[in-house]
A and B are shown apart, each in its own frame.
Chain A
């Protein structure tokens, strides 16, 4: 099993630090994970215990668990698809992309952001059962307790809602619909 931690284009030192800490990695190992990738974006971390197999790519093993750290990629879609669990900052784009792939997601809102409306979104979606929301400190317990089969599937994109709204606003009459209603 493979875990993926992502902070998108932001800086979130506390999450990256936690994701690379031995207690966290022990929990992953005990849950049966064999590898973890950490996309750290602009975050600071201590690279001293890592090898550098490529520029901007750090690697080490922790008790048989493969740990890879890197900063950015043009698209994270392949990384979401490869992962059995995703831990993410609360960016709405990441949340939608991951949930639409049907992947288990634990969201960690960044408490250092001032206008933290992202926490509203993760709370609301956690309330609907689509994901789990956690603090940095509680992340190991959140992973220990996570049961992906209990998560509620997130609805796929439904383009008809906006299409109908705009067609209506611009005066396109839905002919099939009008006929059915005898108009």
Chain B
């Protein structure tokens, strides 16, 4: 007897398939969320690590660059600076830090002064501008997310250049879309940067909105005042890091 495919049968199959793929996605998301990034591997002291940082303008940029100034730039190389559209001041400050680090390195004979420092800038459209209406925010946020997915998920697949292995974040809003892109990599089983969030020195008793949003999903959550950890949720305090 020939099986009869009725329209109800097709709809049923479609629904079943949809439910199945939905369940798989949720299971994958759950697995990714509960594991975090892949377990870290040991690195030799001379091995390099591709570092990315989001410069969120103003005080966010100052604190992020202060954190970076602590690092060995020959180890954390190359470096990718994510900046918001139109934020030339953050770019200028990052260039100042790169110049200062290069001057230090050539003084101590570690690098040739003419050698091109391995860093680049990537511009991300803002997820939400200051005073932007809530009505249009989903549109700008979607554009911002697409840019983040392009740079974190798709571009590394298409090019031979390395992808960031760690992404340093300290707010505000736009850094959230970079996190979502990194999670997309994890769901798809691609290499994802480890996510490190450092809450601002100015946050003493209450986390910022970015801090609250990112606390459950980043790999390391660092605060600079111990009171912020009194709720017993995750995070670490190592004194002032900036």
Contact = CB atoms under 8 A, between A and B. Distances in A.
Q: Are A and B part of the same complex? A: yes
Interface of A: 9, 91-93, 96, 117-118, 120-121, 123-124, 155, 157-163, 165-166, 169-173, 175
B29 to A, nearest CB: 23
Contacts of B70: 157, 159-163
B41 A171 contact: yes
Given A93-B59, A117-B205, A171-B42, 17 more contacts: A92-B202, A120-B202, A121-B202, A121-B204, A124-B204, A159-B69, A159-B71, A161-B238, A161-B239, A161-B240, A162-B70, A163-B72, A169-B194, A170-B165, A172-B49, A172-B75, A175-B45
Contacts of A169: 40, 166, 194, 196, 219-220
Interface in B46-88: 47, 49, 58-59, 62, 66-67, 69-72, 75-76
B59 A92 contact: yes
B40 A170 contact: yes
Contacts of B201: 92, 96, 121
A124 to B, nearest CB: 5
15 contacts: A91-B59, A92-B202, A96-B242, A120-B204, A161-B238, A161-B241, A163-B70, A165-B238, A166-B196, A169-B194, A169-B220, A170-B43, A170-B49, A170-B165, A170-B194
Nearest to B201: A92
Chain A CB within 10 Å, residue with most, of B69, B225, B242 = B242
A96 B58 CA distance: 14
Nearest to A127: B204
B214 interface: no
A166 B59 contact: no
B206 interface: yes
A124 B42 contact: no
A120 B242 contact: no
Contacts of A92: 59, 200-202
Contact of B67 (A91, A162, A171): A162
A117 B222 CA distance: 18
Query: What are the nearest 5 A-B pairs in CB distance?
Result: A159-B70, A92-B202, A120-B204, A162-B241, A171-B40
A161 B69 CA distance: 12
Contact of B43 (A157, A158, A160, A172): A172
A182 B62 CA distance: 39
A117 B67 contact: no
Contacts of B62: 93
B41 A157 contact: no
A162 B63 CA distance: 12
Contacts of A171: 40-43
Contacts of B75: 172
Contacts of B59: 91-93
A16 B2 CA distance: 89
B203 interface: yes
A155 B242 CA distance: 11
Contacts of B206: 117, 120
Contacts of B239: 158, 161
A92 to B, nearest CB: 4
Interface string B25-49: 0000000000000001111010101
Contacts of B198: 162
Nearest to B194: A169
Nearest to A119: B204
A117 B241 contact: no
Nearest to B41: A171
Contacts of B208: 117
Contacts of B41: 171
Interface string B200-227: 1111111010000000000110100100
